[in-house]
Amino acid sequence: MARDSQAALVALNRFGFGARGGASGDLVNAASDPRGFVKAELARANGMLLEAPGLQSTPQLGQAVFAYQDEVRRAREAAKAAAPAETPSPAPTEPNAGLRRNPSLNATATAGQMAEAKPADNGTKPDAMQPNAAAPTAAKPAPLNVIQKTFRAEALARLQRATLAECGFTERLVAFWSNHFCISASKGELARIWAGAFEREAIRPHVLGRFADMLNSVEQHPAMLFFLDNQQSLGPDSRAGQNRKRGLNENLAREIMELHTLGVGGGYTQGDVTSLARIITGWTFAGRQGQLGSPGSFVFNANAHQPGPQVLLGKTYEATGRAQGEAALADLARHPSTANFIATKFVRHFVADDPPPALVARLRDVFVKTDGDLKALAMALVDSDEAWKAPLTKMRSPYDFLVASGRLLAQVPEDPSRYLNGLNLLGQPLWSPPGPNGFPDTNAAWAAPEGIKLRLDIAAQIGARLGNNVDPRDLLEFAAADAASIETRKTIERAESRQQALALLLMSPEMQRR
Amino acid sequence: MIDCVENRLLTSRRGLLLGGASFAAWAYLPKFARAADRHDPRLIVVILRGALDGLSTVGPIGDPDYAGLHGSIALTADGAHPAIMLDSFFALHPAMPEFARMYRDRHAAVIHAVATPYRDRSHFDGQDVLESGYAGPGRVQSGWLNRALEALPRGERVSSGLAVGPTTPLVLRGNAPTVGWAPVALPQADDDTAMRLVELYRHRDPTLASALSQGLQLDKVAAGEDMKAKRGNAVAQMRQVARGAAKLMAADDGPRIAALAFDGWDTHANEGGPVGRLAFLLGGLDGALAEFESSLGDRWRDTVVVVATEFGRTARINGTEGTDHGTGTIALLAGGAVKGGRVIADWPGLKLADLHEARDLKPTTDLRSVMKGVLQDQFGLSDRVLAETVFPDSASARPMKGLVT
């Protein structure tokens, strides 16, 4: 039984988001057939897709941003016209100003408070009974704009899916690939409104499909083209380049090779970067005027495309327009360096910071033999002995930690604020990594002193808020059963209150390591 | 499962994060039986979570065995920090001068060697029994104070609605609607929780132990305060919650009945005697009582504050200058309506044979008798309601008479 619980812990924590509390029976189910429990999710047709009422497509969202920007501009012009001529009008609301921040910060109190400021439902002077020390309802938050609303709705749909999933392996794969091919919502309004749609449209459909298809979807997605500036890149000899005296932007091309496929040191040169940049000129999205197509949708703009054949990694790609880039991506996806890079990163994420070389080699071979079949890759990981024998030493990322906590407490979020604020506080703001290389994936990043202390503060807050309603001893059974250490068990039993016990449980190695 | 999730969602929607203290109150004004004599009674129940060492708070220094058992942390009538004599036998911890003053003014009383019917030593189960009012653990749907409210004729709704509420302590949970308030959270985990976690990590996860220790250190440097000052924060927070709660209750349309909880009383190691960890906490509690008094103003006259804890601690100190989970302890009453100036105790003695299981102060008074006595005197609840509904199966624990003027 002890061994089975240990295997169940691997199934739920290494591969998934941890056991759900309540009547889920996750740990028992996982213990009876650990590998089968993990694989069951992969067998579910379309289980990786996320569709929720109200979630819109990238072009629809792009058009919503354009309309919103027009509205802001009109309001600003109207204000200017109304202002006396001699005094400069007060700085109008820059459409970008409030949006660099996470909208949740605008919507609620500060991250540290994580409180839902909610007006009194009876509408009678909410302050009247507020002693001077507290004014949680004093500041009425500004109404959310369409970008903020969309971001929160996308975040909520993702959080709910992760909370409700049986094991969560599929959602963990989504998070892995989404971070591999990350964009950042902090790039601007379009990136923020598109962040969720990008994941739904470019990542999810291929998480159990082919790497080459995911690569192609990602590099043609308006969110990625915007994030890495490819919509500004013009072939120097293209008509648009000639007319506007502008040329290449190598940003996307470089990251495709360095971060998305070959990896740094994967055998490409600066010449190859420039060449790929030329190859994908013209990959852009239609703007608000819709001259090239439906506003906010991917288009190949032949006018901006560098004419002529290009040489990339020693191979010549003929001038076939959009197909030239697609052929180049297909070859990059198939490159041995890519197989090695992906296998290493995959094992590092799921197994250990120092990935076992034999396992990496096996997954690399699977990737090569199956032509980048990502389901086969995931299955090979689950089938390996290493993934079950390696101790659970990886630190849960802040996202994993918050989701695992919500699952254990059987709390299906109906508002993403607490999660978004928690992620901001812990240094993993949703869909907003610091750079195109995504969030780090090592213990050095997530087991840092400051981060652990902040996690404890958040755990204590969760304990104070929810400890009343639960028995942490039961929760430890749900989370780890007899795989829990004696020390953890005793620490929880000896806690001076349920609140404290819950905080300690959430911070226990059983909940922090995966 | 679905029901369970939805219930918790409701709770979370009302939820507000807070540190070691919380407050909740009834949403309606009760229509009191005693309205005729213009008596407008108020009741505040303070739960001390973690198990208060009653023998260190009100020391039986007249008992010949006390000093030996409580050793280095025993209260004494002399020395640098002498305890405050309440009578010729019992002495109050020197960190509680406000309570001493109320006691002298006959507005405060101590009940000693008291306990709930619970005889095991789990905090959670003990708190459940204390707050649920049932004779045993496992009944956590409603608390005795809430059931007492249900038995009261319901008056006007308290109109100045509180928008956000803390988690309601179990004692006040149940069918009768309540409202909550909490000061904006001090968002940090308390030292005690942090130290327990460091200890766990030290045994199970040395990397995290070192990371957390460093993180706590950084935090301290950033805040520019030492441990003493941080403990001071907990004390300030107790006062703050009490002040806020009292201000709410002082209003004409404010709640008349409230409950709050203070954490941190689980003093297993380095408990301290006249000064130290327990002294800090008692100072906070004393300050909270003073805040109740001053912020309730004229209403203090009609107020009873009951302070209770889930169980006591061992009579003999342990090997780490602290005390382990025990049984008998104290309850405190304070307020203008309390018939005070006395320590109410059927003192069992501290000889080995007199101790419960040869280790704990033997309870000779049922805490439910104290609570029932207060509820009866303040709100006129009948013996039957008290014995069947408020504290089910408690007929043997008769309401204590004459606690309230």
The DSSP bridge pattern shows strands B329-334 and B303-309 to be antiparallel
Contact B200 A508 (CB under 8 A): yes
In this complex, which of A119, A452, A461 lies closest to B212 when CB atoms are compared? A452
Task: Tell whether A473 lies on the interface with B, counting CB pairs under 8 A.
Answer: yes
How much of chain A, in percent, has pLDDT values that exceed 90?
Answer: 76
Q: Do A500 and B193 touch (CB under 8 A)?
A: yes
Indicate if the pLDDT at residue A115 is higher than 50. Answer: no
Q: Is A150 among the domain residues?
A: no
Which of A114, A117, A488 has the CB atom closest to B204's CB atom? Answer: A488
Averaged over A309-326, what is the pLDDT? 97
- Cβ neighbours of A499 in B, within 8 Å: 49, 263
pLDDT, one tens digit per residue, over A231-270 is 999 999 999 999 988 888 989 999 999 999 999 889 999 9
* Window from A187-196, A363-372, A389-398, B116-125 with minimum mean pLDDT: B116-125
- State whether residue B187 sits within 8 Å of chain A by CB: yes
Question: Would the pLDDT of B16 be above 50?
Answer: no
Q: Does the beta-carbon distance from A449 to B214 stay under 8 Å? A: yes
Residues A448 and A466 both lie in one domain: yes
Same domain, A402 and A386: no
Q: Residue A256: which residues within 8 A CB-CB, separation 6 or more? A: A215, A219, A276, A280, A329, A332
Chain position carrying tokens 């600066």: A270
pLDDT value at residue B288? 95
pLDDT at A136: 38
DSSP letter for each residue of A231-294:
GG---TTSHHHHHHT-----HHHHHIIIIISS-TTSS--HHHHHHHHHHTTTEEE--TT-SSSS
Residue A68 in contact with residue A296, Cβ under 8 Å?
Answer: no
Domain boundary among A337, A362, A392: A392
Contacting residues of B for A508, CB less than 8 Å apart: 200, 204
* pLDDT, tens digit (0-9, with 9 covering 90-100), for B24-53: 777 676 665 455 566 788 999 999 989 999
Q: What pLDDT is attached to residue B182?
A: 59
A430 shares a domain with A331: no
Query: Distance between CA B307 and CA B368 in Å, rounded?
Result: 13
Across A193-199, average pLDDT: 98
User: B324, B51 in Cβ contact below 8 A?
Assistant: no
Indicate whether A408 and A420 sit together in one domain.
Answer: yes
Q: How distant is the Cα of A24 from the closest Cα of chain B, in angstroms? A: 8
Question: In chain A, which residue's Cα lies nearest the Cα of B264?
Answer: A496
Contact yes or no for A469 and B167 at CB 8 A: yes
The confidence band for B23, taking pLDDT boundaries of 50, 70 and 90, is: low
The pLDDT assigned to B231 comes to 46
Residue A3: pLDDT band (50, 70, 90) is low
- Mutate which of A402, A414, A452 to disrupt the B interface (most B C-beta within 10 Å)? A452
Last residue of a domain, one of A392, A417, A446: A392
pLDDT at B163 over 50: no
**A226 lies in the same domain as A278:** yes
Same domain as A378, residue A452 = no
Q: Is B211 on the interface with A (CB under 8 A)?
A: yes
**The pLDDT of residue A84:** 63
Is residue A329 predicted with pLDDT exceeding 90? yes
| Chain A neighbors of B17, CB-CB under 8 A | 113-115, 461, 464-465
Helix runs in A181-220, H state only? 189-198, 211-219
| Cβ distance of A497 and B208 shorter than 8 Å | no
Is B254 close to A114, i.e. CB distance below 8 A? no
Say yes or no: A268 and A322 in one domain.
Answer: yes
Assess if residue A114 is contained within a domain. no
Contact residues on chain A for B181, CB-CB shorter than 8 A: 129-131, 134
**A301, A329 contact by CB (below 8 A):** no
Whether the pLDDT of residue A118 is over 90: the answer is: no
Closest chain B residue to the Cα of A416, Cα to Cα: B13
Q: How many CB atoms lie within 10 A of CB A406?
A: 25
Radius of gyration for chain A, computed over Cα atoms and rounded to the nearest angstrom: 25
CB pair distance less than 8 Å for B8 and A411: yes
On the question of pLDDT at B86 being above 70, the answer is yes
| pLDDT, mean over chain B | 84
In a 10 Å sphere around its CB, with 0-12 CB exposed, 13-18 middle and 19+ buried, how is residue B137 labelled? middle
Q: Which two tokens stand for residue B127?
A: 């708190």
Q: What is the pLDDT of residue A205?
A: 98
Structural domain tally of chain A? 2
Is the Cβ of A28 closer than 8 Å to some Cβ of chain B? Answer: no
CA distance A129 to chain B (A): 6
Contact B164 A496 (CB under 8 A): no
pLDDT band at A448 (very low <50, low <70, confident <90, very high): confident
Q: For residue B15, which residues of chain A lie inside 8 Å, CB to CB?
A: 116, 465-466
Q: Which residues in chain B (120-179) have CB-CB distances under 8 A to chain A?
A: 122-124, 127, 159-164, 166-170, 173
Please give, rounded to a whole number of angstroms, the shortest distance from the CA of B292 to a CA of chain A. 13
Averaged pLDDT of chain A: 88
**Type of residue at B391:** F
Give the global pTM.
0.74
- Please report residues of B whose CB lies closer than 8 A to that of A451: 211, 215
Domain assignment of residue A446, yes or no: yes
pLDDT at B77 over 70: yes
CB contacts of B248 in chain A (<8 Å) are 129, 131
Q: Tell me, what's the pLDDT at A91?
A: 43
d(CA B377, CA B308): 18
| A398 plus A326 within the same structural domain | no
> Which residues of B fall within a CB distance of 8 Å from A493?
122
B302 with B41: CB under 8 angstroms?
Answer: yes
| Mutation choice for A interface testing from B202, B205, B281 by most A CBs within 10 A | B205
Query: Is the model's pLDDT at B15 over the cut of 80?
Result: no
What is the C-alpha separation between B353 and B366, in angstroms, rounded?
20
Domain assignment present for A224:
yes
Least trusted range by pLDDT, from A81-95, B26-40, B323-337: A81-95
Inform me whether the C-beta atom of residue B8 falls under 8 Å from chain A C-beta atoms. Answer: yes
B247 touches chain A (CB under 8 A): yes
- B178: part of which helix (H) or strand (E)? strand B178-181
Q: pLDDT tens-digit profile of B274-324? A: 999 899 999 999 999 999 999 999 999 999 999 999 999 999 998 888 998
Asked whether residue A99 is domain-assigned, the answer is no
CB-nearest partner of B160 from A112, A124, A463: A124
- Any A CB within 8 A of B270 CB: no
Neighboring chain B residues of A503 at a CB cutoff of 8 Å? 189, 193
Q: How far is A50 from chain B (nearest CA, A)?
A: 22
Q: What is the DSSP letter of B300?
A: G
Chain A partners within 8 Å of B196 (Cβ) = 491, 494-495, 500, 504
Note whether B164 contacts A414, CB cutoff 8 Å. Answer: no
Same domain, A318 and A419: no
* CB atoms B49 and A121 under 8 Å: no
> Which secondary-structure segment (H or E) carries B179?
strand B178-181
Please report which helix (H) or strand (E) contains residue B332, including its range. Answer: strand B329-334
pLDDT at B137 over 50: yes
* Edge-first strand listing for the sheet containing B91-92: B58-59, B91-92, B84-85
Max CA distance (Å), chain A? 82
Res A100: pLDDT: 31
A452: nearest CA partner in chain B: B212
Task: Return the half-sphere exposure (C-beta side, CA atoms, 13 A cut-off) of residue B236.
Answer: 9
CA B124 – CA A495 distance, rounded (Å): 9
Asked whether residue A368 falls in the same domain as residue A468, the answer is: no
pLDDT at B199: 94
CB contact under 8 A, A466 and B167: yes
Give the number of residues written for chain B: 405
What is the pLDDT, as a whole number, of residue A89?
Answer: 45
Q: Which residues of A fall within a CB distance of 8 Å from B141? A: none
Chain B residues touching residue A117 (CB < 8 angstroms): 163-164
Encoding tokens for residue B186? Answer: 């001090």
Q: How confident is the model at residue A56 (pLDDT cuts 50, 70, 90)?
A: very high
Long-range contacts of A474-478 (CB under 8 A, 24+ apart): A474/A21, A475/A21, A475/A408, A475/A409, A475/A502, A475/A505, A476/A505, A476/A508, A476/A510, A477/A27, A478/A19, A478/A20, A478/A21, A478/A22, A478/A24, A478/A26, A478/A27, A478/A408
C-alpha to C-alpha distance for A133 and B245, rounded to whole angstroms: 11
Residues 389-448 of A with CB under 8 A from B: 409-412, 414, 443, 447-448
Cβ separation B12–A466 shorter than 8 A: yes
Residue A247 resides in a domain: yes
Segments forming the whole domain that contains residue A461: 393-512
CA A266, CA A341: separation in Å to the nearest integer? 8
For residue B219, the model assigns a pLDDT of 61
Say if residue A364 is in the same domain as residue A420: no
Residues of B in contact with A119 (CB under 8 A): 163
Lowest mean pLDDT among A34-43, A155-164, A388-397, B30-39: B30-39
Look at residue A320 and give its three-state secondary structure: coil
Q: Quick one: tokens of A146?
A: 């369409």
Q: How far is B270 from chain A (nearest CA, A)?
A: 16
Distance from CA of B216 to the nearest CA of A (A): 6
Q: Is residue A386 part of a domain?
A: yes
Give percent of chain B above pLDDT 70: 82
Q: What is the pLDDT of residue A113?
A: 32
Interior angle at CA A494, CA A489 and CA A496, nearest 5: 135
pLDDT at A131 over 60: no
In a domain, A498, yes or no: yes
Q: What is the pLDDT of residue A112?
A: 31
Q: Does A503 touch chain B (CB under 8 A)?
A: yes
* pLDDT, average across residues B111-136: 93
Which residues contact residue A84 at a Cβ distance below 8 angstroms, ignoring those fewer than 6 apart?
none
Q: Which residues, 6+ apart, have CB-to-CB distance to A279 below 8 Å?
A: A253, A306, A310, A312, A317, A324, A325, A328
Record the tokens describing residue A408, joined without a space.
Answer: 């254990």
Q: Is the ipTM of this complex over 0.85?
A: no
Q: Name the range with the highest mean pLDDT among A177-186, B5-14, B207-216.
A: A177-186
Mark whether A385 and A407 lie in a shared domain: no
- Check: CB of residue A223 under 8 Å from CB of residue A195: yes
C-alpha B178/C-alpha B168 separation (Å) is: 8
Q: Which of A129, A136, A473 sits opposite B248 (nearest CB)?
A: A129
The last residue of a domain, from among A340, A364, A392: A392
B323 touches chain A (CB under 8 A): no
Please, which residues bridge with residue B58 across strands? B92
Contact A453 B219 (CB under 8 A): yes
Q: What is the mean pLDDT of residues B169-177?
A: 82
Mutate to test the interface with B, among A122, A125, A500 (most CBs of B within 10 A): A500
